[in-house]
């Protein structure tokens, strides 16, 4: 079974969304992990926006990359330029992918405007994850 790690800065938004969608699209055919180069806790707006799409990530936790240093990943996906630059060396043959997504946690404006940014990023990550699973798992 393939092991996939999604990595972003704080493991609070983008990687949490990706973990949820990768699990959904893989449908048990891959082990999905997410982590950050820092840990910021799972953002409640990330949980809410995924719930709108029928995916429950409320049980997810914010994990640090060091927690997985002994896991032999098949794929490592960085979701932001910051994580890509700080991504540690993995002593494995993991194939690395990178796609920079905006951080919805940095959105400003009214609550409605911020949630709309979360939805836009969610939809971009959803499309990316669907294609990734189709092409690699």
pLDDT along the chain (137 residues), means of 10: 92 95 98 92 96 97 90 90 57 84 93 96 98 97
Catalytic residue among 7, 8, 30, 121: 8
Looking at residue 57, its pLDDT comes to: 97
Alpha-carbon distance of 19 to 74, in angstroms, equals 15
The predicted structure's pLDDT at residue 93:
83
Residue 46 half-sphere exposure toward CB, CA atoms < 13 A: 28
Where are the alpha helices (H) located in the chain, listed in sequence order? 14-26, 44-52, 81-86, 111-136
Q: Please indicate whether residue 87 is annotated as part of the active site.
A: yes
**Given this model, what pLDDT does residue 9 score?**
85
Q: How far are the Cα atoms of 16, 71, 88, 108, 126 from residue 21, in angstroms, in the given order?
A: 9, 21, 24, 25, 6
From 80, 121, 125, 129, the catalytic residue: 80
Q: What is the pLDDT of residue 88?
A: 55
Does the active-site annotation cover 80?
A: yes
State which H helix or E strand residue 77 sits in.
strand 75-78
Quick one: CA torsion of 94, 100, 102, 103, rounded to 10 degrees? 30
Report the pLDDT value the prediction gives residue 38, as an integer from 0 to 100.
Answer: 87
Quick check: is 129 catalytic?
Answer: no
The residue annotated as part of the active site, out of 48, 71, 87, 107, is 87
Ordered domains of the chain (ranges, CATH): 2-136 (3.40.50.2300)
Which pLDDT value is given to residue 90? Answer: 55
């Amino acid at each position: 079974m393939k092991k996939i790690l999604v990595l972003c800065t704080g493991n609070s938004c983008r990687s949490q969304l990706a973990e949820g969608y990768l699990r959904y699209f893989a449908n048990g055919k891959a082990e999905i992990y997410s982590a950050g180069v820092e840990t910021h806790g799972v953002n409640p707006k990330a949980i809410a926006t995924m719930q709108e799409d029928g995916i429950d990530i409320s049980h997810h936790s914010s994990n640090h990359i060091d927690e997985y240093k002994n896991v032999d990943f098949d794929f490592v996906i960085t979701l932001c330029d910051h994580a890509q630059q700080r991504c540690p060396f993995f002593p494995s043959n993991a194939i690395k992918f990178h796609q920079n997504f905006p951080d919805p946690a940095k959105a400003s404006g009214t609550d409605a405007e911020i949630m709309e940014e979360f939805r836009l990023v969610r939809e971009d990550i959803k499309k990316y994850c669907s294609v990734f699973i189709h092409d690699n798992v």
